[in-house]
Amino acid sequence: MRDFWSDVEAIVHKSGIRVPYSWQAGETASYFLTQLRDEGKIWGKRCPRCEKVLVPPRKSCPFCFVETDQWIEVSDEGMVETFTVVQRDTLIQPRKAPFAYAMIRLDGADTGLVHILGEVEPEAIREGMRVKAVLAKDRKGSLLDIAYFKPII
Ligand SMILES: [Zn+2]
């Protein structure tokens, strides 16, 4: 049998693919996103067993594996639990580097929401920092209807 690679130069061509897709957000995410878009409000769902308020809301509790059953409005303010600073631009990032993503625990929630921090230099970000949601002017039914979270004193 002929060894194909022994007498053929391996040419490496760098490229990329773009895969646009659509998916139905489902009942839970649709309610969350329409409330955010239309009312500017942030809602979580409470687990009937452990009573944790999950934000973003989940149809079932990831801790107890039971269906969540109660909508709870949470604050648009919360605390940075942890964060990371994006140092390099890539095609998938929503803004130019450097910027930070943070895990934000909103007041009234028991889980963290990952979102962008704005109006703050990356060097000034601290765990425990209090932040507030800044809503996008033109809301479209996406998590980016919260433009970013900004520090508050
Ligand atoms: Zn639970």
Task: State yes or no: pLDDT of 9 exceeds 90.
Answer: no
Structural domain includes residue 37: yes
DSSP state at residue 32: H
Residue 48: which domain range? 24-151
* Cβ atoms of 114 and 84 closer than 8 Å: no
Our count of domains for the chain comes to: 1
Position 135 in a domain: yes
In this structure, are residues 78 and 104 in contact, taking their beta carbons and an 8 Å threshold? yes
Could you tell me the pTM of the whole model?
Answer: 0.85
Tokens of 44: 């979580």
> 107 C-alpha to center of ligand 1: Å?
18
Mean pLDDT in the chain? 94
44 CA distance to ligand 1 middle (Å): 13
> Could you report the per-residue pLDDT of 21-64, keeping only the tens digit for each?
998 999 999 999 999 999 999 999 999 999 999 999 999 999 99
Q: What is the whole-number distance in angstroms between the Cα of residue 60 and the centre of ligand 1?
A: 8
What is the predicted pLDDT for the residue at 91? 82
How many helices (H) and strands (E) the chain has is answered by 1, 8
Ligand 1 center–CA 17 separation, angstroms: 39
- Asked if residue 44 belongs to a domain, the reply is yes
Ligand 1 center to 57 CA (angstroms): 12
